Structure 1
């Protein structure tokens, strides 16, 4: 039962005496009314304190910066309990001690360093027990008789409350006054404790935010370092690719050029028959075609050009053009080409680039097969796709390079070449919206499967 309720009940109890005209009742009513006035004033003060506490809690909860939060908390505490001075201290776990984070004096702002010593005795006791502490007459309080600072600075009344969040001791808030007329009450201690509870949670969150920001900065620094390292690795890899490409180009372009030079010298002889001249001329022509093809591979790879000149081309025309181009080389090595085109409709392709797909695969087959070998090219419709298969009778693809077969400079069964052929095959096919894969057929060699959408 509150004091206000008790006095209202007492006033109600005087009504029968008033009706009887009891003259002594007027004194009792006067006393009760005075107590009612005091209770109403106390109620208003408590209401104002709770409103202030709510506003303080709302304000400090909105502050993220730790330094600003600590200062705001101390300033609010000074005003809330009408203290002359105040200190907010934070626990130093490493030293098992505390350090003053904010020191305030109501009339003069910040407290100088010498005055900070005043509160150490009380603060250490509060942080040790984790319990609030209040003294209404510090000069005569036996708990602080040994504290010369309290006596020296004439501290009259003081309070200190711990800052605890999630069972973690964060620090403490201390306030004091030298005014005899302003001795702190239990209500003041409750008010300061309530503020401390809210402040402790806010401080913990601000610390977590600071830690998160620090982690983010460290992570960003790590990411920046990784990006720098990645850029360096990419540059190094590009230099390595250029070096390997240059070495391969210099070596492999020598072969067709040597053939061209040698047969050109033969053509200058007077004792050659017309058939021999035709043979040497055809060989020179094929060597030039091979040279052009190799240089085109290099240009296609380096440029990375994805522009396509698309048109509908009959499959039979696409395959027959490739066959016409490569068949002389196959015959010269004792190899055969056979086709089985179940699908002879049209596909939407860049004819020149897609012929390069079949030429590169066929050239690999030519280099991998021994005399008597056969390259079989088939086409068939599978759902809404057309599937091409190029099956050779060579030794097949070594398992250790199967997963890397379409990477630059990975080769199999070839004495020469740029090492870019299958990398270009994969790029051109994928630029057309298709797929390419390699398979090993037991006892039959390697098979390359190329698919193209019929309705791209």
Structure 2
């Protein structure tokens, strides 16, 4: 129950948190999309309006300059009062953009200016100014610049050449000097305050920044200023230089996401500069109500989660306290039961020890009278000189008792860790042949299975036949396996093969295959345990257990397989050569 309540608490809390998180994320996404769309539209609209106003204003200034430049009053000479009134009147209404109206003669000498600070320089040579050179070279109204004025202000000039009355010779230039910062200021005034910290760039057709609030950026390339890090921003800046308009977003160097809008400025129908405006891509105040609603929902959801979790925790603590009391009582009962089981285990261990000692003593005591019985029976058989069935029965059963007592003693040694091997150099082929000879003699003597044959195959070269092993113990393994094969095979052939192990050449492999009844499936998983035999019908079940212990004591392995001929079984064991 405790686990169920915890799972319920986790599920309720998880669902509540998931719903809160999902709602918050959904609202943020909608706000971001809506804010970005609104911001793009707003900046683009105001940028286009500002750029259009600049183009219109430049064209207006150009027309007024051209009108004044072609006026007969100006052609009659600047010394007349009418000419000065004309130039002063031309500057009226353009003060927001135009710093001064300047008139140079055909040699570049300053004849007149509306800028009070330059009045003392009337008569000076200005033939090296950019706007004079461009006007003289092109002989048509143009937008010249950018260039630095006497007060180090980056400026442009709307100018018109002045021709002689005949209309064929250059007679000077009339120019309206426009500081670029006044254009930047005018654009900034037309942008809405909701767009945040705006950046306004005036960019020439070669990508050079000619207008910006930070004077250190003027004269640099726009690509260097932006330090373009993605393909989209770079492509948009290139389009801007080519005279296109557009909108894109980028990551500024301070990590802030910004929106950039660019639009071309035209003069007399030709692309002159481009205006680039950037602003933070932040949410606008129009979405404040939506954000507040989301915050209220989030607070309510968190409060509900907290209340629900607190109630469930209190309930769980109460149940947990009750469970602890029950567990304490059960612990006392379990402790008492463990003490009782410990006492029972100690008694069983003591009884098991007594049983082992009794079996060991009984085996020793049995072996003492059995050996004289065997010797006496063999001597009696030799004295009588003829086959006597009664003597054979005595001798056979005495040998069985002797083998059983030896097996019991070996099991006892294995269990008490006193089982030891007496290793020596042994010819494994001869050992197998001797074991086959002994079992064949025993089979003949006992008239067992006259139709059964035992075959031996050796695939080992002479150089591989010697191993280091306990000869008597290996004879015991072979005798047990051959005896089992004889006992469980009525007819056919028992095949003993000697070969090199395929998986590890440092081991020899001995296989004993019969064509008997095979291995009972019910005993296969426990075949090499004590008191388990191939079939539930024969044997004490100690032979295979001893075989396994002897083989593993030599460092080898033993296992059983089904015979590939379709009937019978195969017992396989490996031995290290140790040479």
After TM superposition, is the score higher than 0.5? no
User: TM-score scaled to structure 1, two decimals?
Assistant: 0.43
